[in-house]
């Protein structure tokens, strides 16, 4: 299989693992990078052996087939939209876009231009969550009837070098961490039909104590505690808490409960395990060996999967359809609390295809 030429927009901290994906996966060739701060792009280009260009030059480059968009959330839509209008496929960092309207426009333009849209997270393609998917598909816990998902912390202003965007539209715990948890649940159980929730802003102002903006105050514009209920299309019921308002907790990350047992799901922000099952009547939990590869940090696996899809014509897994459904669900949690009602989802998606067993490292297709 030939290599697909990739261009990366956004050369911040997260970009390093995506550049590494160009060496990990046999079908990727990262040829260009761009950043609003030219020096950052030049440093990454020198480190990884590609060209530093402007965003406009990267999007116009006929050699680049997939634009990997690693910018801050409010730049996801304009850069991705420009890419698909130029006839490029695009893979965004999460969330897909900030608004539903931007997401719909992006997918409609991509479809009209015959290009693909993808989006992080792609952690559901890692060893841990693929093992969970296989256990569910094999009927090890019977039919899923319920799930819980918890992400509890006190926010990012004590450690992140530029934490302000976490408290603006497109941020907050639901839009920052929700995509990992919701994508893992949709991959495991299927799409969501209806949600309701309660949300609040516990601390209207946050004080940055990290460098270089130590002492700056952030006005919080998005809910920082979200407690929600999901009705999945298959009848299962999910409970979720996403919060930046909790100092400490001892909750699981994700558990899925079936008619024949329970499944303890590993951190969906990671690629590995452990995975544990407790079957009906069993006296204790049992750790299950991982059935798939990519237990290490493999961000960029979704880009590689898109490149395979481009060459073979098969669907890609971290798809725009999936990412838009996750975006719709996240907005619905905020909407439900603000409006005091259940929200019926207008979007849906297919569960991504599971990865095959026994893949050689660096490959995604047999």
At residue 14, the pLDDT reads 93
CA angle (251, 255, 256) in 5-degree steps:
160
Round to the nearest angstrom and report the end-to-end CA distance of the chain.
12
At residue 2, the pLDDT reads 85
CA distances from 187 to 25, 51, 53, 196, 253 (A): 23, 36, 36, 21, 16
Q: How far is CA 254 from the centre of its chain?
A: 15
Quote the CA–CA distance of 186 and 330 in Å, as a whole number: 13
At residue 198, the pLDDT reads 98
Give 3-state DSSP helix, strand, coil % of the chain, rounded to 5.
35, 25, 45
* Site of tokens 């530029």: 162
- Which pLDDT tens digits describe the chain residue by residue (366 residues)? 689 999 999 999 899 999 999 999 999 999 999 999 999 999 999 999 999 999 999 999 999 999 999 999 999 999 999 999 999 999 999 999 999 999 999 999 999 999 999 999 999 999 999 999 999 999 999 999 999 999 999 999 999 998 999 999 999 999 999 999 999 999 999 999 999 999 999 999 999 999 999 999 999 999 999 999 999 999 999 999 999 999 999 999 999 999 999 999 999 999 998 999 999 999 999 999 999 999 999 999 999 999 999 999 999 999 999 999 999 999 999 999 999 999 999 999 999 999 999 999 999 997
Structure confidence by residue, pLDDT tens digits, 183-234: 999 999 999 999 999 999 999 999 999 999 999 999 999 999 999 999 999 9
Exposure b/e, 194-220, CB count within 10 A at least 16 = b: bbbbebebebeebebeeeebeeeebeb
Bond into 97 cis (ω within 30): no
When computed from its CA atoms, the radius of gyration of the chain, rounded to whole angstroms, is 20
Q: How far is CA 249 from the centre of its chain?
A: 23
Quote the CA–CA distance of 181 and 261 in Å, as a whole number: 21
Quote the CA–CA distance of 331 and 106 in Å, as a whole number: 17
At residue 108, the pLDDT reads 98
* Site of tokens 């493999």: 298
* Site of tokens 């280009």: 45
Structural domains of the chain in order of their starting residue, each with its CATH number = 4-119 (3.40.50.720), 124-288 (3.30.360.10)
Helices (H) and strands (E) in the chain, counts: 10, 17
At residue 1, the pLDDT reads 64
Quote the CA–CA distance of 318 and 303 in Å, as a whole number: 8
């Amino acid at each position: 299989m030939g290599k697909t030429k990739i261009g990366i927009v956004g050369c911040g901290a997260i970009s390093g693992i995506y550049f590494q994906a160009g060496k990990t996966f046999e079908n990727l060739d990262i040829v260009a990078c761009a950043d609003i701060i030219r020096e950052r792009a030049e440093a990454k280009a020198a480190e990884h052996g590609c060209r530093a260009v402007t965003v406009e030059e990267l999007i116009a480059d006929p050699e680049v087939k997939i634009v990997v968009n690693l910018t801050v959330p409010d730049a996801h839509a304009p850069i991705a939209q420009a890419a698909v209008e130029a006839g490029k496929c695009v893979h965004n960092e999460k969330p897909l876009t900030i608004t539903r309207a931007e997401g719909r426009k992006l997918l409609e333009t991509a479809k009209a231009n015959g290009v693909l849209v993808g989006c992080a997270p792609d952690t559901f393609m890692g060893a841990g969550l693929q093992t969970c998917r296989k256990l569910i598909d094999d009927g090890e816990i019977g039919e899923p009837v319920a799930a819980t998902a918890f992400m509890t912390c006190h926010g990012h202003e004590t450690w992140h070098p530029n934490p302000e965007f976490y408290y603006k539209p497109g941020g907050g715990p639901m839009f920052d961490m929700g995509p990992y948890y919701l994508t893992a649940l949709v991959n495991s159980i299927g799409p969501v039909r209806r949600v309701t929730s309660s949300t609040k802003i516990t601390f209207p102002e946050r004080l940055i104590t990290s460098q270089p903006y130590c002492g700056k105050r952030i006005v919080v514009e998005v809910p920082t505690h979200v407690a929600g209920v999901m009705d999945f299309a298959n009848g299962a019921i999910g409970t979720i808490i996403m919060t930046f308002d909790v100092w400490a907790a001892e909750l699981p990350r994700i558990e899925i409960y079936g008619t024949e047992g329970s499944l303890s799901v590993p951190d969906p922000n990671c690629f590995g395990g452990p995975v544990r099952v407790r079957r009906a009547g069993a006296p204790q939990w049992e750790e299950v060996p991982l059935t798939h590869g990519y237990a290490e940090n493999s961000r960029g696996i979704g880009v590689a999967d898109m490149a395979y899809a481009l060459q073979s014509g098969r669907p890609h897994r971290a798809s725009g359809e999936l990412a838009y459904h996750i975006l719709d669900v996240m907005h619905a949690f905020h909407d439900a609390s603000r409006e005091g009602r259940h929200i019926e989802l207008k979007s849906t998606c297919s569960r991504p295809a599971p990865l095959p067993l026994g893949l050689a490292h660096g490959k995604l297709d047999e």
